[in-house]
Amino acid sequence: MKYAWIKENKLNFSITTMCKVLKVNMSSYYHWVRTGCIEERVDEELNSLIKSIFKANREAYGQRRIKEALLKKHGLIVSKRRIGNIMKSLNLVPKMRKKFKVNTTDSNHNLPIAPNILDRDFYSGLANT
């Protein structure tokens, strides 16, 4: 946590004074910078996992489905919000399916109409009869 703060504010303050104030060894800080932050490595791995799941499922999975896939296949528990933020940063937008549209009968046609053989009257003059 301290190392990340030092890294963020290295333009504003000198690293030596920040290490003295926060009681951190400079060699430890530089070792952390050289080897890389564990959080950054986890984020890179998570980003690649999310991208691979997204591509493998024809770019149709959103954050809910990706969360389920991460839990089932990799055993990772990640919040939907974090997955959504990662998808937004990677510009991964799921493809939306077309809504199902019901095709009803087209009465404006020139095809022959079946004759009304039964000639039934479905309208009654009185209620409940």
pLDDT tens track of the chain, all 129 residues? 788 888 888 889 898 998 999 999 999 888 888 887 766 677 888 999 999 999 999 999 999 999 999 999 999 999 999 999 999 989 999 998 888 988 888 778 888 888 888 887 777 778 776
**What pLDDT shows up at residue 38?**
67
Residue 120, phi-psi category: left (phi > 0), alpha (psi -120 to 50), beta (remainder)? beta
**What pLDDT shows up at residue 97?**
85
Q: Give residue-wise pLDDT tens across range 102-113.
A: 888 877 888 888
Q: How far apart are CA 6 and CA 24, in angstroms?
A: 10
Identify which of 111, 12, 101, 90 has the alpha carbon closest to the alpha carbon of residue 47.
90
**What pLDDT shows up at residue 39?**
66
